[in-house]
Each structure stands twice: as structure tokens, then as C-alpha cells.
Amino acid sequence: MEWHWKKQRQAARVHSGTDCLVCSGPWTVLELAGVEQAFQNLRVPGRGAVRVELSTVTGLDSAGALLLYDLCCRLERDGRRVSLSGMNPAAEALFALIGRHAPPPHPVRHGRAQGGLEGLGRQGVGLLVQGAGFMSFVGQTAVTASAVLAGPRRARWAPFWTNLAASGYRALPIVGLLAFLLGVVIAYQGGVQLQLYGANMYIADLVGLAMLRELAPLIAAVIVAGRTGSAYTAEIGTMKVNEEIDALRTMGIDPIEQLVLPKLAALVVTLPLLTVWADMMGLFGGIVISNAVLGISPAVFMERVGESVSLSSYLIGIGKAPVFAAIIAGVGCFQGFRVADSAESVGRQTTVSVVQAIFLVIVVDALFSILFSETGL
């Protein structure tokens, strides 16, 4: 069992002669690769009994013993009698043990290949099942929520406040920064075009309307989906892996009431507030660029925004936020409950949660646009 990495490591070896095999070197798992590769093509000339000489083997572990066992089995299948010589008692004991437990040589199994049509079908059914699951989850949440609304003393305030701080207050810097940069980009790109026509003034209309009505709610929702929706999934998913969800149930605590409602409520409150914050920072970005590049003073810019952006546009922007929040929190929690019992599953459902939340937010935003243009708002 002598080993040292500074010495040149020796490899296990095997040589065949007439009616004999000579094994040498360390027959241990780390040095065995060469012998194992040569194994398939190893032939022992002659037809009589084979003597396997092991006196020059410097170490034998269970991997080496297993390979030796395989070798003996193969020779015996070929009708040769095998005798081992030169083994010390410890090696003999190990070899006997391996012989008692050795599984048959493992054929390399390949999973059945899935046809394209089968894959499509499985995916489709999977989506339907998931959709039905989501509907039932939404229903359960609604029932629990109405029970809590009817008896507000059941509401769980502590997790609500924690979630409020985590999903709202701590998201302020990143939401503010990105909204500001978005304002800068729109003002800059739009400003260059408007300047060509001498229509500098309209930059306020452009930035104001685009930010307040569409982009601020959207950017806030996308950031919150990536930041908070994923956290919801990972949190609930990890709790599920640890059987904490089952623990809640056995204590008679409804997981939806304890975990989902505070998160949902917190997000429904914070996302509109974050949207207002994004509105402000976006306009600020627009003001900075308009002032620097187009020479429009902040006062003039704001006056112009007041004239061009109607109150209804502003409220539509903010009004979309609670809907987005419900989607993000709903998908986040739902995917958390879908986690199966592995760490990998937590990661997979978290990814799914973010992708689905952002997808649904954009789809719903498009539906809102159609709805509002049809109703003339």
C-alpha cells in the first residue's frame, strides 16, 4: 500500500505466456487503467490449465481483485482451468470476498431513445397538467385569501413585513439604476432623431409617455421576477426538499396561508411603489440627457411632461403593477411547490419560474395594450 506522488508512479501490468499469466505492479484502482484496457484483447496461448502468477503484484485492492476475478471467469468460460499462485493471505481473503459478491460484468445500458413525436406529446401533456395544476393553485390561494380577508386576525403579519422589506426596500437601488439608464437611453436615442427635425421639445412627450405608461412597470416587473420570484421558488422548493412543508401541514398550518399569502400581499403592495420609483428615476434620466444634449432645462421638461402625459396614462402604468405582482408571486410560489426532492430540481424550477413569470408579464402587458386601445383610454 506504499504510495507517493513524488515518485514516478508504477502502473499495473500483465503479461501472457504459454499457459501462464504474469501480473505485476500495483493492482489498485488508480493504477489499473492500462490493464483494464488491455483486458479485452488479452489472450493466453496454449490450451491447458493456466497458472496466474501474482507474486510480483505489489498491491491488490477490491478493484484489482474484481478485474482478476473477471479474468479468471473469462478463462474458465474458454474451458481453461485457472490456478492462482503467489498470493499472500490478505489478498486471498480479499479475492474470496470479491468472488462472493462480484456482480456479473455490467453491459453498458443506454436509455431508450425518445422519438420526436413522443417527446412532443409528452411535452404537450406535461404543459396541460402543469396548467391545470396552476389553476388549482390559484383557486386554493383565492379561497385561503378570502378566508383571511374575512377574518383578518388570521393574517400573518411578521412574514408580510419581512417580505415587504426584502422584495421592496432592498430592490430600490437596482430598480432605480436600471430605470434611470432606460430613461437615458430613450432620451438619447430619441433626442438624436428629434433634433433632425428641430423638434427637441417633444423629447419630454417621448420619455414621459414611454416611461410612465409602459416601460417603468415593465422594467420593475422584470427585475422583481428575476430577483424576488426566483427567491420565492427557491425558498419554498428548499423547504419542500427538507419536508418543512409537510411539517407545517402536520401542525395544522396551511402552507398557502403561511407562505404564499404574505409573499403575494407583499409583492402586490411593493411592485406599484417600485413602479412609481422607476417612473421618477426614468424621468430623471430623461431630464439629465435633455439638459445636457438638447439644452432643455429641467423645469421646461417637467412642464411639458405635465401637459403631454394624461393622468390616465400614469395610472394605467401603476395599475398594471399589482397584476404583474400577482403573476410573479403566483408563478414563483407555484413552481416552488412543484419542486421534487432533489437539489437539481430546486434549480430547474427556479429557472422555469423566472422564465414563465417574465413571459406571462409581457403577454399580459400586450393584452392590456389591446384592451386600453379598444376602450380608448
Contacting residues toward another protein, per CB under 8 A: 1, 3, 5, 28-30, 32-33, 36-37, 61-63, 66-67, 70, 90, 93-94, 97-98, 101-108, 241, 340-345
Q: Is the dihedral of CA 245, 250, 256, 262 positive or negative?
A: negative
In the complex with another protein, the residue whose CB is nearer, 235 or 257, is 235
Q: Which is nearer to another protein, 166 or 241 (CB)?
A: 241
| Closer by beta carbon to another protein, 43 or else 101 | 101
Pick 49 or 93: Cβ nearer another protein = 93
User: Measured from the CB atom, is 97 or 132 closer to another protein?
Assistant: 97
Which strands form 13-17's sheet, in the order they lie side by side? 13-17, 20-27, 50-60, 82-85
Per the structure block, which three cell numbers stand in for 143? 379561497
Closest approach of another protein to the CB of residue 69, in Å: 9
Of the two residues 28 and 141, which places its CB atom closer to another protein in the complex? 28
Task: Sort strands 20-27 and 13-17 into parallel, antiparallel or unpaired.
Answer: antiparallel
> What backbone torsions phi and psi does residue 106 show, to the nearest 5 degrees?
-80, 120
Q: Smallest distance from the beta carbon of 26 to another protein, in angstroms?
A: 11
Say if residue 203 is exposed, middle or buried (CB neighbours under 10 Å; 0-12, 13-18, 19+). Answer: buried
Closer residue to another protein in complex, CB, 66/316: 66
Smallest distance, another protein to C-beta of residue 87, A: 14
Burial zone of 106 (CB within 10 Å; 0-12 exposed, 13-18 middle, 19+ buried): exposed
Rounded to a whole number of angstroms, the minimum distance from the CB of residue 25 to another protein is: 15
CB of residue 169 to another protein, shortest distance in Å: 29
Segment holding 130, helix H or strand E = helix 116-150
Smallest distance from the beta carbon of 101 to another protein, in angstroms?
A: 4
Which residue, 133, 143, 119, 89, is CA-closest to 260?
A: 143
Tell me which residue of 278, 255, 275 sits closest to 323, measured CA to CA: 275
Least distance to another protein, CB of residue 43, Å: 18
CA 203, CA 209: separation in Å to the nearest integer?
10
